[in-house]
Amino acid sequence: MGCGSIDDVRQRAPRRHPGRTDRHATQLSPSGSSRRRSHIAPPLRQSVSHGADGRLSRHVRSHRPAPSQTPARTRARCTGRRARTGATGLHRAAHRSDGPGHPRWSHRARRSRHRSGRRAHAVHERVARVPHRPVAAVDRHRRQLGRVRRGPAPRAVRRPGRHEPDDHHRRRSKCADGRRGHRRLRPRCDDERRHAAPLARCRRHLAVGRPPGSHPHGADRDRQHRRRRGLRERSGQPPHRARLCRQRGHHGDRRELRSRPGQLDDRDGQPTGRCRHRLEPHTPLRVHAQRGGGCRLPQRATRRRQLLVRPGHRHHGRQREVSGSLRMVTYNVQCRSWAMEAGADMSIPPSETCEERAKLISDNLLNSARDYDVVCLNEVFDEDARDIFATELAARWPYAVTKADFAVMNVAWPGKPSLPINPAAFFLDHTGLGLLASWFALGTPKMEDSGLMLFSRHPFTLKPLTQQILSALNPFAIGELTPLGFPSVGFMPYVSSTGADAWAAKGMLYAEIQRPDGDVFHVLASHTQADSDKVSENKTERAGQFAESAAFIDEVTAGSGTANVFAMGDFNVCGGQQAVTLDQFTEEWGALFLTAGSLWSDRLIDVWGREQCVGAAAALPPGALAGLRDPGPTANVVYPPAEQRLDYLFRNAGSAMVAQHVYVDHALATVKPGVDGVSYLSDHRPLGCDLHRRMQDNAPNLAKLADADPDFTDVNKLVPGQVRWYRFDRLGTYEFRVLSNNDVRFEVYLDTDLSLPRQPYRNEVNPDRGTKFVLPSAPFLVKVFCGSRRSEAGYRFFAHRHTGASPWEAIDVVPEVNYHEQFPAGQFLNLDQSLAPGDDTDSKWFVIDTPRVPVNDEIQLTLTVTPQDHADDGAMVSVFADSGAPVLTLETTAGPDSAPMTLQWKAKDNQRFYVTVQRKNTAGNPLSFDLRLNWTVTMLLGGLLGKPHLVCTEETSGWGSDDIALTLSTDGVVLRAISNDEIGDFDDDDVRDLSQWLPAFTVYVNGVEVKVIEEDDISANDVGTRTIGVLPIGALAVGDLAPGVRVERVNPDTSARVIATIDVDDGTYEFRCTLARWHEQA
């Protein structure tokens, strides 16, 4: 149709099926208005008549002839699809009841015209049979060509039900005055047609977005469309937004998909109910809480929406240009200059690998899955390494301060050369000119700069170039900055310093960063005075530096109110935890960051020690939850304690943002296998932080308490950049699963290590309940997040705890972990399972797995069961071997007895045993008991979990570095021989990470021999050896384990940090490793 308003063709009356009366059918009043029983709808704009077949039809007055006046050939074309599908087949769904209150759908065929008057082909329209809320009709051909006169349309209630034309789908358009208009169809691109072709066979379909470049009106309209839909501008990307459909589906069943950590599984289901088509490739998934528990979605969402999961295709939900989170990392990269290395090595030329390590660190940053927004590097004194960082990181983080020195700052800006800026120029525009006293006090430049580098994905804010600022800039900088303005970056050198640090211009770097959404962040970075021989050795100089930095922060953030202020860097203070009593190592931390009256305690908060992991207090008030215990060490040092938290991130107390997750990013500090000539990246590990505005459950210390007794379910959603945490306060065997239509993942953490997620237990997956985890300590946490932080998604989280009620619910037993279990009162726990010989009615089931890796000797197992409350009738304990036969084989038994019972037996590797604890009281009196297992297996942990290191506490005498080689053997078999070419030379205080050379776990029954060889002069004195024995039976304690071997720390998961001292000639080395009795993958 070439004339008339689009409103004239927007409404169509529902048609009555011939010869059928439907109580939901729409009737017409004499005035032409539609009504449904007594409900009167607004008058219609079209004329309505009954066709020859008795169905209602509508025609636009004066724009198109009635069907009876249309030529027969035209009517045949208009009704071609109806003829193919059958007169009633097309309308079958319209006359089928979907339950009270659900609309009906009807299709019509009609002819349209172009504006030029040329006739177009017929299209089929869907019309809701809800007369008081009419649905806009669709003109396929005109909307395909984009020739639609846009205008306001009546509010439409459109619910996906029947399929639409296969080559089109709907999108919103806008009126000329900006108001929301009607929906119209557009052609699908090849990718969309390929992904959505099977959907036309079923009324459950997916309405998707459009890849860039496919809009018929050109790129401008396409960009507007993407902004409205929140899609990323990624050319050729398949459609990834799923439209949420109404909850009540026509398939009539609930299908759920199992998920694994970090990914979704693909389990198809057969549709049931009235749908005649196979549901491929989409499976409907209800998203609402089970009755009687969990969280419910809003009523509107539960009534009208249903998540669809496309197996085999990963959606990212709604995408945004900017995530709601801000991710930052600080990393001391230990790139010392040639002169500094020469002084440390006492050799000319010095042994240094700064350039190689700078390239590897840059690659790790660029390939990091963390997707950082701000990167702070400390200790970049080597100029070649600085150039590598500036060049490699410029594409991802184009706004940077690549040098911060006494007299100059180099600022990088996209499309500009490195701009030398006088750091004093920044303060000339501030009222606190007293800060310039730092330069006058120093008098002359230092030998080295500050070693600080700051990279940002988002631009620095700009301020006008005042005459005072121009007076401090050179002509080149003035010429480059004139079109932009002056970037809000500054640097203040510290006056207080001592020792070797006095040769460097250590200070505080400042930058004001603005994201595209308008949020402004004040970012500060610093590297303070270091210690050499003991903790708090130079605390006086550090206190002076923190006082200077406090005045600096007050000045640069004056007038910002509650704006976001973040300070980070290597502060060289041994970190503590707020709920843990201070000791000789952490008293400086308490004086600086806990004492009231200081900016570093009142206005800024240490997000690790005072927010995320405050530690477990010795005594808690009733009902209070214990704090998380991870100490968060970031550096290995040569003086006690061997591991310290020296790197920090602070946020201001008034910030609306909260630290969603603070972690040690081990992946950034790992040397990839196959790299020659580099054995380590730094003596520090990077500290990363994910910040987001405070929301419910989006931080470990704000985690939702999940009581899996035995099941827990939560239905929730994630906005872009958000994560959610769940806290479980009971150890045991669990299965977790996350269901979503998007790429929603989960990770499991013990509260003693929030940096490395736990691995699934032997990769076991229950098809009904999810992935299996064995957690040896509590509390532990589960983190739920989107694969892309720019996505939003709804999800359902499931958790199930094994209760021991059957062999399939058996509780996995970890050695040296105490299990406290109880029987229900007044009822049997279970009936005879017919799996074990004899009657096992009313029994708790446990399972013990010996290591799957080869063990050179038999394993001695000792099991102790101690009945407690109401143990008068006692309990009976039985151990069964699982040999694969239909019935278990009895291995040993004890009881019934009310006293502690001990059972012993021997086993080999890769065996499974079941343990039953049977209550003998037939009256069902409550019974509780403790169960504990010991065995003669010890494991040397490698990789990131074990963190093995070799530390030179004192190198051998003589000029030059020590040429060290290392050999490790377990039970007399060489595990790994590491040559000097691999591990490199050693000097005093050097630390080498051995994670890349040792397997994740190595089982031994006799001992681990560590041999350190100094290859300069091979003699008896140049070889040092130390043997680390097995862990003793029973609880471990900090102290000497054997001569030259001591336990540094005992972890709640039964692992222990052990240090073996090895004398080589007149030098001393330490082998630091982690020993455990059990590993989830062993």
Q: Is the peptide bond before 767 cis (omega within 30 degrees of 0)?
A: no
Polymer length of the chain? 1082
CB 526 within 8 A of CB 469: no
Residue 320: pLDDT band (50, 70, 90) is: low
Reply yes or no on whether the pLDDT at 176 is more than 60.
no
Q: Are 904 and 956 in contact (CB under 8 A)?
A: no
Which of 186, 203, 238 is the endpoint of a domain? Answer: 186
What mean pLDDT is reported for the chain? Answer: 75
Q: Which residue has better confidence, 71 or 339?
A: 339
Q: State residue 127's pLDDT score.
A: 39
Asked whether the predicted pLDDT for residue 199 surpasses 70, the reply is no
Determine what percent of the chain is predicted with pLDDT higher than 90: 45
Which of helix, strand or coil describes residue 476? helix
User: In whole angstroms, what is the distance from residue 578 CA to residue 590 CA?
Assistant: 8
pLDDT surpassing 70 at residue 542: yes
pLDDT at 93 exceeding the cut of 70: no
Q: What pLDDT, on the 0 to 100 scale, is given for residue 321?
A: 52
How many other CB atoms are found less than 10 A from the CB of residue 464?
A: 8
86 has a pLDDT exceeding 50:
no
Q: What pLDDT, on the 0 to 100 scale, is given for residue 685?
A: 95
Statement to judge: residues 390 and 525 lie in one domain:
yes
Q: Is 769 in the same domain as 678?
A: no
Which pLDDT score is estimated for 996?
86
Residue 825 lies in a domain: yes
The share of the chain scoring above pLDDT 70, in percent, equals 67
pLDDT grade for 845, boundaries at 50, 70 and 90: very high
Q: Is residue 584 part of a domain?
A: yes
Give the domain-ending residue among 770, 801, 832: 801
**What pLDDT shows up at residue 342?**
64
The Cβ-side half-sphere exposure at 330, using a 13 Å CA radius, reads 26
Q: Are 1064 and 1017 in contact (CB under 8 A)?
A: no
The closest of 692, 600, 691 to 653, measured between CA atoms, is 600
Between CA 361 and CA 363, with CA 362 as vertex, the angle to 5 degrees is 90
Query: Average pLDDT in the 298-321 region?
Result: 37
Q: Are strands 520-527 and 564-570 parallel, antiparallel or unpaired?
A: parallel
Residue 283 lies in a domain: no
Mean pLDDT (whole number) for 395-401 = 95
Q: 657, 692, 727 — which closes off a domain?
A: 692
CATH number for the domain that contains residue 1054? 2.60.40.150
Over range 372-393, report the average pLDDT.
96
Do 762 and 728 share a domain, yes or no?
yes
Place of tokens 């530690």: 615
Q: Is the pLDDT of residue 574 over 90?
A: yes
- Of 149-158, 279-288, 536-545, the range with the lowest mean pLDDT is 279-288
Confidence of residue 1037 (pLDDT cuts 50, 70, 90): confident
Asked whether residue 673 is domain-assigned, the answer is yes
**Number of domains within the chain:** 5
pLDDT of residue 650: 97
Residue 227 has pLDDT above 80, yes or no: no
Query: Are 403 and 450 in a shared domain?
Result: yes
What integer pLDDT is reported at residue 601 of this predicted model?
94
Question: Which pLDDT value is given to residue 82?
Answer: 37
138 Cα distance to chain centroid: 42
746 within some domain? yes
Tell me the residue range of the domain where 479 lies: 325-692
| Same domain, residue pair 736 and 786 | yes
**C-alpha span between 667 and 685 (Å, rounded):** 9
The sign of the CA dihedral 703, 704, 710, 713 is negative
d(CA 425, CA 594): 34
Q: Is the pLDDT of residue 230 over 80?
A: no
Say yes or no to pLDDT of 212 above 60. Answer: no
**How far apart (Å, rounded) are the C-alpha atoms in residues 800 and 735?**
5
Span of 96-110, 313-327, 543-557, 765-779 with lowest mean pLDDT: 96-110
Residue 649 has what pLDDT?
97
Contact 87, 107 (CB under 8 A): no
- Which of 279-283, 486-490, 615-619, 827-831 is the least confident region? 279-283
| Mean pLDDT, residues 21-31 taken together | 38
Residue 1065 domain flag: yes
Is the pLDDT assigned to residue 203 strictly greater than 70? Answer: no
In degrees and rounded to multiples of 5, residue 159 shows phi and psi of -120, 130
Q: Are residues 98 and 166 in the same domain?
A: yes
Is residue 465 located within the same domain as residue 498? yes
Query: Distances in Å between the alpha carbon of 882 and those of 464, 805, 864, 891, 914?
Result: 78, 18, 20, 10, 7
Q: Is the pLDDT of residue 801 over 90?
A: yes
End-to-end Cα distance, the chain? 73
Cα 888 to Cα 879: distance, rounded to the nearest angstrom: 9
User: Which of 561, 649, 636 has the alpha carbon at shortest distance from 600?
Assistant: 649
Report yes or no on 504 lying in a domain.
yes
Q: How far apart are CA 513 and CA 15, in angstroms?
A: 61
Query: In this structure, what CATH number is given to the domain that contains residue 739?
Result: 2.60.120.380
Backbone φ and ψ for 934, nearest 5 degrees, come out as -130, 145
> Distance between CA 104 and CA 24 in Å, rounded?
8
Determine whether 562 is exposed, middle or buried from the number of CB atoms within 10 Å of its CB (0-12, 13-18, 19+): exposed
Region 13-28: what's the mean pLDDT? 38
What is the layout of strands, in order, in the sheet containing 453-456?
A: 419-421, 409-412, 399-404, 453-456, 374-380, 325-335, 687-693, 657-664
pLDDT of res. 839: 87
Helices marked H in 329-424 — which ranges? 338-345, 354-366, 383-392
Closest residue by Cα to residue 12 from 40, 37, 49:
49
Maximum Cα–Cα distance across the chain? 114
Dihedrals phi, psi of 1013, to nearest 5 degrees: -120, 125
Q: Residue 535: its pLDDT value, please?
A: 95
pLDDT surpasses 50 at 213: no
- Whole-number pLDDT of residue 701: 94
pLDDT, average across residues 935-956? 91
The CA distances from residue 661 to 275, 607, 747, in Å, are 46, 9, 12
> What pLDDT score was predicted for residue 285?
31
Q: What is the CATH number of the domain that holds 515?
A: 3.60.10.10
Burial 294-328 (b: 16+ CB within 10 A, else e): beebeeebbeebbbbbbeebebbbbbbebbbbbbb
pLDDT digits (tens, 9 = 90+) for 966-996: 999 998 899 999 998 888 888 888 889 898 8
If you write DSSP's letter for every residue of 429-462 in order, what string do you get? Answer: GSS-GGGGHHHHHH-S--SB----EEEESSPBPE
Instruction: In whole angstroms, give the CA distance from residue 280 to residue 282.
Output: 5
pLDDT (average), residues 473-486: 82
- Please tell me the predicted confidence (pLDDT) of residue 586: 96
Q: Could you report the per-residue pLDDT of 628-648, keeping only the tens digit for each?
A: 999 999 999 999 999 999 999
Let me know whether 773 and 792 are in one domain.
Answer: yes
- H/E element holding 194? helix 190-196
3-state SS of 739-791? EECCCEEEEEEECCECCCCCCCHHHCEECCCEEEEEECCCCEEEEEEECCCCC
pLDDT tens for each residue of 102-125: 333 334 444 444 444 444 444 444
Per-residue model confidence (pLDDT) at position 903 = 96
Q: Which of 195-199, 460-464, 771-775, 1062-1066 has the highest mean pLDDT?
A: 771-775
Residue 1006 to residue 970: CA distance in whole angstroms: 8
- Please classify residue 429 by burial: count the beta carbons closer than 10 Å to its beta carbon, then call 0-12 exposed, 13-18 middle and 19+ buried: middle
pLDDT tens figures, 824-839? 888 888 888 888 888 8
Q: Is the pLDDT of residue 509 over 50?
A: yes
Is the per-residue pLDDT at 194 higher than 90?
no
Tell me the C-alpha distance between 876 and 915, whole Å. Answer: 10
The pair of three-digit structure tokens given for residue 204, joined into one six-digit string: 């459950």
The candidate with the shortest Cα–Cα distance to 526, out of 486, 496, 559, 500, is: 496
Provide the pLDDT for residue 18: 39
Q: Which residue has the tokens 């659900």?
A: 102
962 shares its domain with 920: no
pLDDT at 12 over 60: no
Residue 44 within a domain: yes
Interval 327-381: pLDDT, tens: 999 999 999 887 777 665 555 445 578 999 999 999 999 999 999 999 999 999 9
Question: Is-contact 912 849, C-beta < 8 A?
Answer: yes
SS3 content of the chain, % helix, strand, coil (to 5): 15, 35, 50
100 shares its domain with 113: yes
pLDDT at 294: 37
Contact 1075, 1069 (CB under 8 A): no
Whether residues 948 and 831 fall in one domain: no
Question: Token digits for 908?
Answer: 């080999």
User: In this model, does residue 1019 exceed pLDDT 80?
Assistant: no
Is residue 486's pLDDT more than 70?
Answer: yes
pLDDT bin (cut points 50, 70, 90) of residue 289 is very low
User: Which residue is listed with tokens 């060289």?
Assistant: 572
- pLDDT at residue 480, as a whole number: 81
pLDDT at 534 exceeding the cut of 90: yes
Q: Do 397 and 527 share a domain, yes or no? A: yes
Beta bridge partners of 306: 245
